[in-house]
Structure 1
Amino acid sequence: MSFRTRLLLIIGTAVVAASTAGTWILLVTTTRAFEQLDEQRRLALLQQFWRSFDTQGKEIARRVQAIADSEVCIRMAVDLSRPGGDPGRYVDQAQALAAQHSLDLLEIVSGDGRIVSSAQWPARYGYLHPLETQLRRQDDGTVFLSKQQLPDLLAIAVTAIARVNPRESRLYILGGQRLDRRFLSNIALPAGMRLFLYPNVEPTFSPRLLTGTGDDEDLERLAPIVNSVRETRREYTSTVSWSEDTADSDQVQAIPLKGLDDELLAILMVGSSRSDIIQLRRFIGMMGLIAAIGGVILGVGAGWWATRRVTRPIQKLVEGAGRVSRGNWDTRVYVDSKDEIGDLAKAFNQMTDQLLDQRDRLMQAERVAAWREVARRLAHEIKNPLFPLQITLENLQRAKNGHPDQFDEVFQESTDAILSELNSLKTIVANFSEFAKMPQPHLQPADLNAIVEEKARLFQSQLISRTDSRIDLQTALETKATVVQADPEQIGRVLQNLILNAIDAMPQGGTLVVRTREHAAGILIEVEDSGVGLTPEERERVFTPYYTTKQHGTGLGLAIVQSIVSDHRGRISIESEPGRGTIFRVWLARA
């Protein structure tokens, strides 16, 4: 990418960033204002709910007290306080009183907690009332939420208690109204808001229990909110999406409604539509996009004229640097400018002069350093067999001087040892000579699949004959043409060394796989084994001449492989972990 293009991109990016920042600030400010307004609307709706709850509770308490003070209930209390008083005479009394005072629920309970009459379920006559332990602790006129058993379901009701207590007798009146859709419909809802009520009467979430003031929706989407409140017994707020469109969603605040003894009886959910804020945010985003596009067009037009004047001398420097990178180190750049660009051109010309001088000195220093390193490693390899030679000769001298009678025996052992070490020295010198005299490759079109198959057949016959530590050699070859520019003999040597290295890495046997496959840069060869693997330190040094992890290795095999791959302008890499095997990868250019 040219400097001029980058300058234009910077200008365009700055304009886009400014537009984006402005749009983001506007979005954040607007969203916060809407959220504050939404919060105020939810609080107002909740206050209205509690006012309605309080008003209806007082009215229910008044009606229940009126029933308790009625002549019918007083006579009933007196009659039941007498010995032999028959409560069965009043089993239907609650239904008449409930209808007379417009109550959904009404039950008359004796002083010992047994139901005398039940308007909502007459069959409960004689049963202990579920709230019989709480009745004695509540004052007259107490209003609370309760769970009421109906013949076909459990319901939540706003309930009040009153006592019928002439003289020493006790009789309790419990009456109330169901907390349902009818109760919620009395609350005036602002536009875009809705109420849901979930009675907590079943162990798991059931959408059929939900009642609400809004349209029928996929009420299953409220399950996470209900479950969270049931688990924590605290208020919870979350966003509920009713469809794929994010605008079709509500911000829902859930409030637990509790009864006596802090029992969770119901969950009130206040939903506030997010449609308006989502639509507004979309509009602001679209306007911001249009402003950004217009700004970019204007900015690019103005920037094009400015950058053209600035980038001409820079373009000359770029062209000069390109010629230097291609090897033309005598390049000079001429810029008629008295500013920083002119100073940069002068510095560039001085740099090319210095590079010419430093290149010659660096090449000479690299050659010296490379031969020093090879000499050091070669000296180390030769030193290893020299020490046993010295010890053997000293043993011969001591045997000659101290034990002439044993000299022949010692001489034979010593000469064998000397010959063995001399052979080691000879091998070291031969390997070094071979490494130093690597010929230049004779490049020609070569089929990698054919080379792999040839080497696989060669090693397959050897591996099959092994009776222990069996190694399974497999090939997975690319189906397309795998012709590359290479020296077939040298590439065959690369494969041979990598396969031998893999076999040595599997002393207990295993699987060896050789693959070829197409790659963006040409053809890839992979040699994978299931052997012992290498540590990170071993991976770093594995291509170093005379470095080996094997007991009897020369340390030149992989160095030769790397040298051949480099001569072919290819690339080699290694992937390995201890205990997980090793993969060598060789990339070669396609013919």
Structure 2
Amino acid sequence: MTGGLRGRLLAAFVLVAVPPVVLLTAAVTALLARSFAQSGDERLRGAIAAAFGQMDRQLRRSAAEVTAVAVEDLPQQRPDPRALTTLAQALGRNRALPALEIVDARDRVVSSRHWLAGFGLPEQDGLFPGDDTLRVERVNEGYGEAERLALMASRPSLLNGSPVLVRGGTFVDAEFLSELSELTGVRLALRDRVRRRWIAPPSSPLAAWTEPALAGAEARGEVMLGGTAFRFSAAPRHPDLWLVAALPRGELDRLTGLVRGVAFGLAAAALVGAALAAVLLSGRIARPVRELADQSRRVASGDLAAAVDATPGDEVGELARAFNAMTAELRTSRERLLQTERVAAWREMARRLAHELKNPLFPIQLSIETLRRAWNEPGGRERFAALFRESSDTVLEELQSLRRIIEEFSEFARMPRPELRPVDVGAIVEQVLALYQARAAGVRIEKDVAPEVGTVSADRALLARAVGNLVANALEAMPDGGTLRLRAAPAEGGVVLEVADTGPGLDEEQRTRLFTPYYTTKKGGTGLGLAIVQGIVSDHAGRIEVQSAPGEGTTFSLYLPRDPAAVVSSPPVRERSA
């Protein structure tokens, strides 16, 4: 029972503590995962802002250098027309402008640092409508030409007295984006929506993104590229030119997984610690209840000396004090009951003994009075002689009956204490059946002794006598034949022996008085047989039960512990109706 109480306390702890911890851990993990995702988005937006800031700084520096070329450098130049092809190269190197060109009023290239082959040709730059700082410049590349995005500043000037336009700036190419990617720690690329191409480092996975959905003021989400999931954020430098920043989703997943593992590990450790505390607390809570249950079992087994240590100031202490008061009251009541039962038993015994003694004394009295009358009558000597033999036989017969009653009473009063030895229960059954086999004419005998019955610690002679008395009663209850059943089976801590008959059975009053000394339902019986059986069973710390009803036969059940010395006291006899 206390184990069940402790288990219920632990189960209550699990129901109360575990779900909130699990839910809280899951919520914290989800919150952290969301926070990491938001942090990743902020990191991507920060990288875009940093890239745009770097582009703006490059543009401002380029504008200042282009202004210096237009205002300071060109007006002082008087180049030979044959030296114009190298003019832009010299000026660009001096001003650290990778892209520099001089265009005349008819948009023809006068000189170019990055497109030497364009001398005298119309300018062929790609434009982004509404933003003249973004230009796709033709450049020399190997033995051919290519197009590269550049941030360009423009300033008017004079060359040899003729108006020209000076354009210069920095290329926004794979090298530029690689440097920014290393600086920000994210993958960066530019998407030219007009020309449907990417400007990205050679190893960038973003170049494999064929149709990015880029619109509005900002775009973000996730995309699968080359078998790898990326979280991206994008912002327009121009409606037709978007800067895209991306991070592999695996980095966020690994970080989230690490945090989730740590969180659940800490939660598990907390639960284990709390569970250990719950085990200790439940043990402390259940300990007085367990002690109370143990002492209750002692009381149930008949030991009314059981008591519980009462803890002051709590409900369990009040229960313990009530239990102790109850057992004290039970002890007092038992003493009163035993005293009352002793008086009642002696009165009943005296009444039965007086009745048994009165039966033979009355014929003795009549015989003596008859002899005295015959002796005192005139001429009655002859009649006295005739009556003497008959009366003396009656007196001797009744004296023999008195002697038998006294011997049975003496035997009942002097029942020997059992000498306990290991006794084979099956052998006892066989011994009793062999003894009463001759008296069982017309009675069918059924025997059922379980192999695992084994032995009990008992007095062999007394146990055989108890079983024999029950078998004798059963046979006497079936004068016209019937069935006698003997059964032996193991029970908790002992053995159960059953003797059953198919006789007329007993009513409730008979069952109640069945074990009272000198009470009998048989003609000529002394009423001591079952009282002796009860005494033997009680001396073996066992108990006897009877189950019977009129017309349904009677079954006596003897419970014998395997070790009577281990039993505190034997429970009382119980009668059960069928």
Q: For the superposition of Structure 1 and Structure 2, which TM-score range results when normalised by the shorter chain?
A: 0.3 to 0.5
TM-score of the pair, normalised by structure 2: 0.43
Structure 1 length normalisation: TM-score? Answer: 0.42
Larger Rg: 2
